[in-house]
Chains A and B, each alone.
Chain A
Amino acid sequence: MFTLFKKELDYYLNNAVGYIVVILFAVFANFLYVKDIFLNGSVSMKSFFGLIPWLFLIFIPAITMRAFSEEKRLNTIEVLLTLPVSEAKIVVAKFFTYITLVLLALILTLSLPVSFYYLAHIYLPEVVVGYAGSVLMGASFIAISMYFSTLTKNQIVSFLSSIFVLFILLGTSSDLLSSFLPKFVQDMLIYFGPLYHFQNFAKGIVDVRSLYYFISITVLFLFLTVVNLEKRD
């Protein structure tokens, strides 16, 4: 599995696109947060974590769109699936590649909490929980986007369909979409949205239900990705 992980990661490390996407994420995350920090008048990472789901909405489909759609387009998927390696290992290896890229992108934003810790003594455990939540939410977004990349040979279709589904998911627990729905539907849907669960982490709270939510979504979509790869007839 490490061989597959290394091959996938090498693609991004030897390719300008990988660097551009990761750096763009870090630039946007830092800039969008810093531009409002003096208006807020207080030093807190909460508004930074508020941006993360919306940045992930673009960033994650952008890095995962080629996961399987490009393999299908080039038919290298046939090479992979006729090697002595299981579909599950292929999916997990790719998943860890994308998790590594998400970690790299988040590491590039660490200058903010580190400076705030020394300048304003922000509460560090709260920040650590926020970052852990970002990784968990990122993992679930990666799994969803990887599933959609198994459905098409076209990277753009894979990218757009992932964005659409993630946007709907984010919308269910934000005012963006739920304000159009009746109150009882809003109350129900809010628990299905990643935003609701991520907000706990952003506040520095480790809620076991939210932890289960992200892990369940990740495992479910990785499983569906494997099932889709096994369907070849």
Chain B
Amino acid sequence: MISVDKVTKRFKDKTVLHNVSFEAKKGEIIGFLGPNGAGKTTTMRLILGYLTPTSGTIKINGINPQEDRIKILSTIGYLPENNPLYPEMKVREYIQFIASLKKENNVDDIFSAVALDEVLNTKIEELSRGYKQRVGLAAALCGNPDILILDEPTSGLDPIEQEKIRDLIKKLSKNKTIIFSTHILSEIEEIADKVIIIHRGNKVFDGFKPKKKGTIATLFKRTVTDN
């Protein structure tokens, strides 16, 4: 379980996250929704222990990531924004490199899960954006983590590739807590169980996804305009 309690993050004089609290239970898919610069990436980096909160506490399965970052990171799979990869490496080499650091032996299952078998011996720099995104997802899946944090996993992809990645996320969601960020409203409607709307560093909505289609769009427009 992930517990974020009254977390504030300040960079020099700029507060990028203000008093944000929420919880994510096992098996839940949480969608972070917000415009660019809202604080979604910062929240994710704080959960990973990559950044330190200015105030407030974060606990993952009862452990503060700042106190035992290495232990926490072995239970989290992370796909960073813009999916940074080593372009000179081949797909197999890259995944084996990540898997080795995460003590994962069974990489073949991961290759099949994200349908990478065809490009295993291709250099990452030669892949299409869709395949690169799959490589990022495969890396996040190494070590069979309980938690997946995916920062804009469909960003920059064409609609067909977006759909494929969404299907993959849904397929992977069994027994995992998934937190993903997006500014695509339909993506939230399709994948998430819970929605957290962040705007200018403030949490403006936190709740289960409304059943009626189009409600999130209305909710998002209203909360963002009001704040």
Using CB atoms and an 8 Å cutoff, list the residues of chain A in contact with chain B: 3-4, 7, 10-11, 14-15, 74-76, 78-79, 81-86, 232-233
Q: Is B100 an interface residue (CB 8 A)?
A: yes
Q: Which residue of chain A is the closest to B151 with respect to CB atoms?
A: A78
State in angstroms the CA–CA spacing of A115 and B52 once bound together. 58
State in angstroms the CA–CA spacing of A233 and B11 once bound together. 7
State in angstroms the CA–CA spacing of A137 and B119 once bound together. 44
Q: Which chain B residues in 38-96 approach chain A with CB under 8 Å? A: 48, 50-52, 70-71, 73-74, 76, 78, 80, 82, 84-89, 93
Q: Which residue of chain A is the closest to B86 with respect to CB atoms?
A: A76
In the complex the two chains form, is B101's CB within 8 Å of A85's CB? yes
Q: Is B97 an interface residue (CB 8 A)?
A: yes
Within the complex, the shortest CB–CB distance from A230 to chain B, in Å, comes to 10
In the complex the two chains form, is B80's CB within 8 Å of A82's CB? yes
Given A79-B139, A232-B51: A86 and B70 within 8 A (CB)? yes
Q: Is B98 an interface residue (CB 8 A)?
A: yes
Interface size in chain B (residues, C-beta < 8 A): 27
Residues in A whose Cβ lies below 8 Å from that of B78:
82
Residues in B whose Cβ lies below 8 Å from that of A81:
50
Q: Which residue of chain A is the closest to B80 with respect to CB atoms?
A: A78
- The 8 A-B pairs at the shortest CB distance, nearest first, are namely A75-B84, A84-B74, A84-B73, A3-B100, A76-B84, A82-B78, A84-B70, A83-B101
In the complex the two chains form, is A79's CB within 8 Å of B84's CB? yes
In the complex the two chains form, is B50's CB within 8 Å of A78's CB? yes
Residues in A whose Cβ lies below 8 Å from that of B102:
83-84
State in angstroms the CA–CA spacing of A14 and B101 once bound together. 21
Within the complex, the shortest CB–CB distance from B48 to chain A, in Å, comes to 5
Within the complex, the shortest CB–CB distance from A6 to chain B, in Å, comes to 8
In the complex the two chains form, is A3's CB within 8 Å of B97's CB? yes
In the complex the two chains form, is A7's CB within 8 Å of B85's CB? no
Q: Which residue of chain A is the closest to B77 with respect to CB atoms?
A: A82
Q: Which residue of chain B is the closest to A86 with respect to CB atoms?
A: B70
Q: Which residue of chain B is the closest to A74 with respect to CB atoms?
A: B84
Q: Which residue of chain A is the closest to B142 with respect to CB atoms?
A: A83
In the complex the two chains form, is A14's CB within 8 Å of B88's CB? yes
State in angstroms the CA–CA spacing of A79 and B89 once bound together. 14
State in angstroms the CA–CA spacing of A82 and B48 once bound together. 7
Most chain B beta carbons < 10 A, residue from A4, A76, A79, A85: A79
In the complex the two chains form, is A78's CB within 8 Å of B98's CB? no
Most chain B beta carbons < 10 A, residue from A3, A14, A75, A78: A78
Within the complex, the shortest CB–CB distance from A89 to chain B, in Å, comes to 10
Residues in A whose Cβ lies below 8 Å from that of B93:
10
